[in-house]
Chains A and B, each alone.
Chain A
Amino acid sequence: MSSDPLLEVADLSVGFDGFDGYADVVGDVDLRVERGEIVTIVGETGCGKSVTTKAITGLLEEPPAHVDGSVEFDGMDLRELSEDQRESLNGDRLGMIFQNPLSGLNPVFTIGEQLIDTAMFGGKNDDGILSYFRRRRSTADRENARDRVVKMLREVQMPDPEAVLDSYPSELSGGMRQRALIAQALLNEPDLLIADEPGSALDVTVHDRILSLLTDIIEDRDMSILMITHNLGVARQVSDRIYIMYGGRIVETAPTEEIFEEAHHPYTQGLIASIPQLSGEEMAGGIDGSVPKYTDPPSGCRFHPRCPYADEQCRQSPPPEVSFGEDSHAVCVRHTDDGTTPTNEKTKRRLMKNGSVQTGGER
């Protein structure tokens, strides 16, 4: 691994002021994405994944959000940038694909209008409002942008791109809208693409096609990806390295194969145990309980109310980080004492004993 990561997040924390008091959502998040690397953040719905990426891209409104920590992108501290600098970085070097293709496109503009504007004015192309009108009139500029958009739509395998340009989002299928969104995010050739559960709002077959499309496109270019998913299977399919997130904390990280070979954190093990398998083996029905309330999070280790290994120590103090290799860490106290070291097998048995044995995903 090189020592010059494209994205390096250190000690990131995010909280929100709300009606129920202060919600401490994300904390102590360290993560990095190397050049050309695909990294996923995996966790249940509501565990702080999207908030983390929004904090990275600067999309959170402060206040009500309180963001702390450092986000370094290619040597620049993103938290220090002015709004203008930020605008020119987003789109140009940082791309983002949104979770829901049905709400990610503006319903009252045609696909062409939105994509051509992104191609012409996304990223560093802001010279003020006068140049907007001048450049909009310039047919050469517009034709050029239009060609880029059509080319990109072809690349994301959009059927009949020319016709799509004149369509409104409501006239396209979910899969086509997702393709349009991917094209929009890639238009200005970002160095880092942040993808928030791409395609997960679509049905399974379309989701699968979108994912393989995305991995194909990435392979063709020199691009890094930070992808969010609640699905370990997806993470395994696409990523080089995985961060497991629970309750707004990174609980474990390791290269993808290592996680599936030997997970160390009971939460990761629980997630793995609840992946349906074709072998017909019995599987754990999932991890009982749900993600913590952020206005009143559990003391000590945030996972303890749902952890099959939890004891007094877990309730009282935050767990230490334990290293298992250069890129492999877990945050769990069970690996430092000489008692029960959690393993995949043990966790699975414990989860099955606790609860129902059923088929179903991690939800």
Chain B
Amino acid sequence: MSGVRSLLRRISGMITSLLGLSILIFVISRVLPGNPARLALGAFASEEQVDQLAAELGLNDPLSVQYIEYMRRLLVGDLGQSLQTRNSVVQDLVTKLPATFELITLAFVFMAILGIPLGILAARHQGGVVDNTTRFFAFAAVSVPSFFIGILFQLLFGYYLNWFPITGRLSSAYGNEVISTTGFMLVDTILSGSLAAHIDAWMHLVLPALALSFGGLGQVIRITRSSMIDVEGKDYIEATRAYGLPSWLIVNKYSLKNAFIPTLTILGLQYAWLLSGAFVIEIVYSWPGVAKYGVQSVLSSDINAIVGVTMVIGLAFVTANLIVDILTSMLDPRVSFAGDST
């Protein structure tokens, strides 16, 4: 099967998944307790005002009519208006996504560049210091809730050690210097030509990203370790030793490529999971991202915003999966990313 055709097949599969997701959110958002119109207008609005808004939003129509309208607008990319911010949801997402994107990307980079080498080290020296420390660390990371880790980091690195700022994306001192053009603070500070602001943006980013990566990092280390150990016992690795290949070459080239495939799967899933992890971390660090926006929209029954945020997360999941599958098929000739065996 040609590459283009497999890709098209996979993309049509992704669309089907997203379609299923959209139906699910529609149902869930319509059965949530609370009247969205009342919540939007506040406790002092009159009954008539609430009814009027509900009618405007189409909330009084039968579900089937609401659904058709919802799908029609979804297909043209219109997510409606947010009831809290009164902006269009698409516009809200566009302004908030870059902050979250920056955060989870750095968290992801931490996971990959710390997790894989530590996993290799732990596998090479089983029962050694790195192995035992990372094992403890991995268990701790999955059993301690992420808000706790977030607060712990704030206390330790922010408050006591005073290495990093505790909240926000940028110190207020630079607030006027930096013009938001892309929404990515690291890029905007460069575009504004302020190196100091750029460094400041990094300092703000590191702590929440580290806290966010914590849970996944443990997993990446453990999966890298166990697949390295698994691969080391294979005939073809033993053979490379018998041919006298240097051990650094065996470990870092021949074992690692095989062992990296399971790690890649975990990394791909983690990238999407980071988005859900960000729900907590963004609140703790007052990070003005899409996850924080999502939490607020759930709390205020802002149905359009809920749909928007959920679709973004869904899209992230299916895209991460597709990328992992494509990369896996590039790494392993026995795997075809279309999902059928060759």
Given contacts A96-B239, A105-B236, A109-B257, contact A123 B333 (CB under 8 A): no
Q: Is A118 an interface residue (CB 8 A)?
A: yes
> Contact between B239 and A108 (Cβ–Cβ < 8 Å)?
no
| A317 interface residue (CB < 8 Å to B) | no
A91 CA / B234 CA spacing, docked (Å): 18
A83 (CB) vs chain B CBs: closest residue: B247
**Interface members, chain A 96-129 (any B CB < 8 Å):** 96, 98-100, 103-109, 117-118, 121-124, 126, 128-129
How many whole Å from A111's CB to the nearest CB in chain B? 11
- B332 and A92 contacting across the interface, CB-CB below 8 Å: no
B258: which A residues are within 8 A, CB to CB?
106-108
Chain B's nearest CB lies how many Å from the CB of A153? 15
For window 268-284 of chain B, which residues contact chain A by CB distance below 8 Å? none
Interface residue B334 (Cβ < 8 Å from any Cβ of A): yes
Q: A89 to B244, Cβ gap below 8 A?
A: yes
* Contact of B246 with A121 in the complex, beta carbons under 8 Å: yes
Residues of B within 8 A of A122 (CB): 243-245
Q: Is A90 an interface residue (CB 8 A)?
A: yes
What does the 1/0 interface line of B228-251 toward A look like (CB < 8 Å)?
000000111111111111111100
Cβ-based interface call for B202 (8 A): no
Chain A residue nearest in CB terms to B242? A96
Does A170 belong to the interface (CB within 8 Å)?
yes
B243 touches A108 (CB 8 A): no
Contact A126 B333 (CB under 8 A): no
**What number of A residues sit within 8 Å (CB to CB) of B?**
40
Report B-chain residues with C-beta under 8 Å of the C-beta of A107: 236, 258, 332-334
In the complex the two chains form, what is the Cα distance from A341 to B332 in whole Å? 60
Q: Which of A100, A108, A117 has the most CB of B within 10 A?
A: A108
Residue of B242, B246, B249, B253 touching A57 (CB-CB under 8 A): B242
Contact B239 A98 (CB under 8 A): yes
Chain A, 203-233, CB within 8 A of any chain B CB:
none
- The answer to whether A91 touches B244 (Cβ under 8 A) is yes
Rounded to whole angstroms, the CA-CA distance of A107 and B332 in the bound complex is 7
CB of B140 within 8 Å of the partner chain: no
In the bound complex, CA of A98 to CA of B245 (Å):
16
Inter-chain contact A121/B245, CB cutoff 8 Å: yes
Q: B243, B249, B257: which contacts A96 (Cβ < 8 A)?
A: B243
Which one, B247, B333, B334, contacts A87 given CB within 8 A? Answer: B247
Residue contact A168 to B333, C-beta cutoff 8 Å: yes
Find A109's partner among B244, B252, B254 (CB 8 Å cutoff): B254
Give, as a whole number of angstroms, the nearest-CB distance from A243 to chain B: 21
A121 contact set on B, CB distance < 8 A: 245-246, 249
Q: Find chain A residues with CB under 8 A from B243 CB.
A: 90-91, 95-96, 118, 122-123, 184-185, 187-188
CB of A59 closer than 8 Å to a CB of B? yes
- Cα A94 to Cα B241 in complex, Å, equals 11
Residues of A within 8 A of B (CB): 57, 59, 83, 87-92, 94-96, 98-100, 103-109, 117-118, 121-124, 126, 128-129, 132, 168, 170-171, 181, 184-185, 187-188
* New A-B contacts (20) at CB < 8 Å, excluding given A96-B242, A121-B245, A168-B333: A59-B238, A90-B243, A90-B244, A92-B244, A95-B243, A96-B243, A104-B236, A105-B236, A106-B237, A107-B258, A107-B333, A117-B245, A118-B243, A121-B246, A122-B243, A123-B244, A124-B244, A128-B248, A132-B246, A185-B243
Give 5 nearest A-B pairs by CB, closest first. A91-B244, A90-B244, A96-B242, A126-B246, A103-B235
25 residue pairs of the A-B complex, CB under 8 angstroms, read A59-B238, A59-B241, A87-B241, A87-B246, A88-B244, A89-B244, A95-B242, A98-B235, A103-B234, A105-B239, A106-B257, A106-B258, A107-B258, A108-B332, A118-B240, A121-B249, A123-B244, A129-B248, A129-B249, A129-B252, A181-B239, A184-B243, A185-B242, A187-B243, A188-B243
